[in-house]
Structure 1
Amino acid sequence: MSEANGSTLAAVDLGASSGRVMLGRVAPDRLELTEAHRFPNVPVRLPDGLHWDVLRLYRDLLDGLAAARRACDGELRSVGIDSWAVDYGLLDAAGTLVSNPYHYRDSRTDGVAAEVHERIDPAQLYATTGLQFLPFTTIYQLAAESPVRLRHAEHLALLPDLFTYWLTGELGTERTNASTTGLFDARRGTWADELVRQAGLSRDLFGELRRPGDVVGPLLPEVRAETGVASSMVATAVGSHDTASAVVGVPAADERFAYVSCGTWSLVGVELDGPVLTAASREANFTNEGGVDGTVRYLRNVMGLWLLAESVAEWERAGLTSDLPTLLAMASDVGPGGPVFDPDDPAFIPPGDMTGRIADACRRAGQPVPEGQARTVRCILDSLADAYARTVRDAVALSGHEVDVVHLVGGGAQNELLCRLTADACGLPVVAGPVEATALGNVLVQARAHGAVTGDLWTMRALIRATHPVRRYEPRPRTSTDR
């Protein structure tokens, strides 16, 4: 693609179970994505706990950039990186990684939040950060840190910023991910210095903040030599929390929408101009996270397709049917009115024995235990749809932001049964797609930074609507057998 016709860009999208490098071609009337490289993201359990294999991920990132360079019809202009939130690497004074970053599902944070809340009033935390309670938020992870690791640490780099640092040599923290740490002031848009002090942390750990669209800098010579990209290529900050990029990729036509960014986790909420920091919002466990262009992602985490993925992996180990399309077809034949459970129970956070924990949750809720694979899959999807609907209703009530449609983006948009059940549970139309909303949001923020597109979020969303098909599911009338 020539400079006059737009930009060719690389989007690195790291998920909790897999990553990919996508090649984006963007112009005012063009938005195309091609997968250059996909790779697994497999955590490693060491004697001290569960860790991310960040060196393996970085190797795949470099391989992906090389593959994108080979596949493109022009010079790659920029790369942007997004990933899940809260996890980080600690760097010493020389910029060397102190040790492997921990996985947010590691058990080291069990009970730590209560200890932090003895020092910092949870109401004060919420009034400053606007974050929902999650036991693995960065502030709690840091409270669980080894004093030895902290003693050697000079810098904290959230994972997208760590990889950007390795590409460019430039340290900094992108704001949408900073907003998930529990150490960021939701009103001021800065690090919450008083909370950092109360948490017993050094303010020097937390780097200069970047906005989505800021150009970080050129790639290091050794990176260019290894990947073959041009000396003109740069790294550009995007909505580095993957949900921030995914919400950019929601093809909404106006403000009256809710979204479900559905993958390993499901993030369910609305887009606002400012945070909601009321006591009612705190009690409902809603979060206020930074979005692109100063927006607020007012949402609640729902456990997501992790429940289904872990169940399928369990069945595969047992030699049972593990083909997901087959399981979904079987679940579609199960009628409505079956058991539901609370997917946000912390018991579902660790890996392993998912179907046993689902059975226990149904018993505790006074519900029948789902028997067999089909009923278990249907129970998971009914429970997720029920949680999505409850969360959308709560978001509307707490924020006063009315919605007419629910946009479901990400991998879950391919799950027809989940989309149908969500429309029924919400009583609202569900627009499913695009599946690649996160990568689309990533490349669009880069493209705007480099002049390939202009305008605000609505201009970018209009380009998505014009170039990417979606599927609409209307809610069906409830019957006496429905919940």
Structure 2
Amino acid sequence: METKRHLAFDFGAESGRAIVGELKDGKLEMEEIHRFPTQSMFIYGSLRWNIYRFYEEIVTGLRKYTAKYGSALESIGVDTWGVDYGFLKKDGSLLEIPYQYRDDRTNGTAEIIDKAAGNREVYDITGIQFMTINTLNQMAAVKRDTPERLEEAHDMLFIGDLLHYFLSGEKAAEFTVASTSQMLDAFKKEWSHELFEQFGIPDQLKSKIVFAGDVIGTIDPKLAKEVGLNGTVKIVAPAVHDTASAATAIPAEGENWAYISSGTWCMVGVETNGPVINDASYEMNISNSGGSLGKNLFLKNVMGLWIIQQCKKAWNKKDPGLGYPEIVEKAVRAKPFAGFIDPDDDLFFAPQDNIAAIREYLDKTGQTDVDTEDIGTVARIVYEALAFKYRYVVDRLKAATGQQVEVLHIIGGGTKNALLNQFSANALGFQVKAGPAEATATGNLLLQAYGCNEVNSLQEIREVVRASNEMEVFEPENETAGEWARAYEQFKAVCGL
């Protein structure tokens, strides 16, 4: 029987990978063949993504594939973060280098959105939480600052969709990533006519919507020849939003579970069969992000490992050899509950100095006796804060949906941090299952396999995930349960939650 291989390009905010996958005996075998940095860069004072270098890395990955496996490849699919986009001109060329979501051009756009449409109306249509990074905020910034761009633009594609376009010449916006824009009708699963009209966004920017598992097209013949692939390689949309690809690979069984897609951002959520849009979800600012194969991801962003990543950058200036294992070991030895921070405070969104931002937060909340020069103390404060915020969000998801939660699945890169996983079990008071670490690439590859008729359902995909991965289980430590419960109440009081 001919081997069918798929190639996933998984782009994160710091790095990207090319991963080959093939199904054998009900298991997914994966191999990373290329890894590369992705980071954004400043151009003329604005933060941008070098989309052409991303494409160049894809081409490099394709060359590495053919050097090892030859010309036969079943499909290619790309996943990325949400919200960011690129405009295309009428001739199909890129209008400008895409902005990065942390660029400060969206300052002041929250007020524009509320004034133009009303926050409740926007939420009732889209079900998406309000964040200044949202595509709708970016559109408001364009309309305010550079309205001529909207006149020049002929198409709008999200970052992963742009890369699919570069590969195939086909323009399409995949549903899960389009849903992050706050411009899509959550119930109709199509662009919101009302919001486009209210914000003066031209109709030509309503790109065709496709869904995870859809075949977008085939590889451009010239590119295929250049890298040594045959010309029949399919471009198959995974869940282009990396969180949705990761959620596809949650190895869950039954009901009553929640999940965290743990990385630079952490997405804390439950899976539902349709949007949950009500007074409670609006007041708690919870998102209904598109999931794969008919599912809805009822979730909320938590700042995630971004904070510890930025702390590490500061610490590495003094100690270039300091790695995450040593940081975790220092945190283990540090005093528990020395201080409390809300990881989602605006101070931590894009600070120049994250240690200084933590110190400022502690000072403004009256926690002035914390030694922020001690690496272990700061790291432990961050890890404890993340665990407490996970519990806070899970409690609110339960309240808004009426669902019970008895186990938490942690997927993604954060599964490798056993200390944070244990802290999460302690804070939540129930079992945590960690794995797979490569959930996003796993979901990407299995959705490509679904599009190529190798698996037939989400249930079958998750059976493959369970067969292919071992999960690490963390139980709450009963002997410290009282301490964690009291500290959680302190956390809420100090952080005003």
Query: Fold conserved (TM > 0.5)?
Result: yes
The residue number in structure 1 matching 2:462 is 461
Choose which of 102, 105, 110 in structure 2 pairs with 1:113: 110
CA-based RMSD of the aligned residues comes to 1.4
Q: 1:462 to 1:23 in 2, by over 3 A?
A: same
Separation (CA, whole Å) in 2 of partners of 1:481 and 1:320:
35
Report the alpha carbon displacement of residue 67 of structure 1 after superposing the two structures with TM. Answer: 1.4
Report the alpha carbon displacement of residue 460 of structure 1 after superposing the two structures with TM. Answer: 1.0
Q: For structure 1, which segment, 270-279 or 344-353, has the greater mean C-alpha deviation from structure 2 after superposition?
A: 344-353
Separation (CA, whole Å) in 2 of partners of 1:24 and 1:70:
16
Matches within 5 A, 1:61-80: 61-72=58-69, 75-80=72-77
Separation (CA, whole Å) in 2 of partners of 1:124 and 1:312:
41
Separation (CA, whole Å) in 2 of partners of 1:433 and 1:359:
33
What letter corresponds to residue 40 of structure 1 in structure 2? P
The residue number in structure 1 matching 2:494 is none
Residues 249-296 of structure 1 deviation map (CA, whole Å, 9 limit, x = unaligned) = 111112221100001100001000011111211110100011011110
Secondary structure of residue in 2 paired with 1:375:
helix
Matches within 5 A, 1:369-408: 369-371=370-372, 372-408=374-410
Contact kept, 8 Å, 2:288 with 2:297, in 1: the verdict is yes
The residue number in structure 2 matching 1:17 is 14
Report the alpha carbon displacement of residue 351 of structure 1 after superposing the two structures with TM. Answer: 4.4
Contact kept, 8 Å, 2:430 with 2:476, in 1: the verdict is yes
Separation (CA, whole Å) in 2 of partners of 1:288 and 1:208:
21
Does residue 260 (structure 1) correspond to residue 264 (structure 2)? The answer is: no
The residue number in structure 2 matching 1:418 is 420
Contact kept, 8 Å, 1:337 with 1:481, in 2: the verdict is no
Gaps of 5+ in 1: none
Separation (CA, whole Å) in 1 of partners of 2:189 and 2:121:
16
Matches within 5 A, 1:93-108: 93-108=90-105
The residue number in structure 2 matching 1:295 is 295
Report the alpha carbon displacement of residue 319 of structure 1 after superposing the two structures with TM. Answer: 3.5
Does residue 8 (structure 1) correspond to residue 5 (structure 2)? The answer is: yes
Secondary structure of residue in 2 paired with 1:469:
coil
Secondary structure of residue in 2 paired with 1:391:
helix
Contact kept, 8 Å, 2:351 with 2:357, in 1: the verdict is no
Report the alpha carbon displacement of residue 76 of structure 1 after superposing the two structures with TM. Answer: 1.1
Matches within 5 A, 1:206-285: 206-285=206-285
What letter corresponds to residue 194 of structure 1 in structure 2? E
Separation (CA, whole Å) in 2 of partners of 1:320 and 1:293:
44
Separation (CA, whole Å) in 1 of partners of 2:166 and 2:232:
17
Runs of 4+ aligned residues of structure 1 deviating over 4 Å after TM superposition are none
Report the alpha carbon displacement of residue 299 of structure 1 after superposing the two structures with TM. Answer: 0.4
Matches within 5 A, 1:149-164: 149-164=149-164
What letter corresponds to residue 314 of structure 1 in structure 2? A
Separation (CA, whole Å) in 2 of partners of 1:31 and 1:159:
27
Choose which of 37, 40, 43 in structure 2 pairs with 1:40: 37
What letter corresponds to residue 470 of structure 1 in structure 2? M
Residues 174-225 of structure 1 deviation map (CA, whole Å, 9 limit, x = unaligned) = 0001111111001111111111110110111121100111101111012112
The residue number in structure 2 matching 1:141 is 138
Report the alpha carbon displacement of residue 147 of structure 1 after superposing the two structures with TM. Answer: 1.8
The residue number in structure 2 matching 1:86 is 83
Separation (CA, whole Å) in 1 of partners of 2:295 and 2:327:
39
Residues 126-158 of structure 1 deviation map (CA, whole Å, 9 limit, x = unaligned) = 000001111010011011112232221110010
Gaps of 5+ in 2: 488-497
Report the alpha carbon displacement of residue 74 of structure 1 after superposing the two structures with TM. Answer: 7.5
What letter corresponds to residue 134 of structure 1 in structure 2? M
Does residue 436 (structure 1) correspond to residue 433 (structure 2)? The answer is: no
Contact kept, 8 Å, 1:174 with 1:210, in 2: the verdict is yes
Contact kept, 8 Å, 1:246 with 1:440, in 2: the verdict is yes
What letter corresponds to residue 275 of structure 2 in structure 1? P
What letter corresponds to residue 235 of structure 1 in structure 2? I
Contact kept, 8 Å, 1:339 with 1:370, in 2: the verdict is no
Q: 1:370 to 1:186 in 2, by over 3 A?
A: farther
Q: For structure 1, which segment, 44-53 or 155-164, has the greater mean C-alpha deviation from structure 2 after superposition?
A: 44-53
Separation (CA, whole Å) in 2 of partners of 1:16 and 1:190:
27
Separation (CA, whole Å) in 2 of partners of 1:43 and 1:10:
24
Report the alpha carbon displacement of residue 72 of structure 1 after superposing the two structures with TM. Answer: 3.2
Separation (CA, whole Å) in 1 of partners of 2:129 and 2:121:
13
The residue number in structure 2 matching 1:473 is 474
Separation (CA, whole Å) in 2 of partners of 1:361 and 1:471:
34
Matches within 5 A, 1:158-173: 158-173=158-173
Secondary structure of residue in 2 paired with 1:343:
coil
Contact kept, 8 Å, 1:27 with 1:452, in 2: the verdict is no
So what's the TM-score if we normalise by structure 1?
0.96
Report the alpha carbon displacement of residue 321 of structure 1 after superposing the two structures with TM. Answer: 5.8
Q: 1:58 to 1:320 in 2, by over 3 A?
A: closer
Residues 337-391 of structure 1 deviation map (CA, whole Å, 9 limit, x = unaligned) = 2212111112211142001111111222333534311100111100011111111
Percent identity, aligned pairs only?
Answer: 36
Q: For structure 1, which segment, 108-117 or 406-415, has the greater mean C-alpha deviation from structure 2 after superposition?
A: 108-117
What letter corresponds to residue 475 of structure 2 in structure 1? E
What letter corresponds to residue 441 of structure 2 in structure 1? A
Separation (CA, whole Å) in 2 of partners of 1:222 and 1:285:
46
Separation (CA, whole Å) in 1 of partners of 2:421 and 2:13:
22
Separation (CA, whole Å) in 2 of partners of 1:7 and 1:366:
60
What letter corresponds to residue 423 of structure 2 in structure 1? L
The residue number in structure 2 matching 1:194 is 194
So what's the TM-score if we normalise by structure 2?
0.94
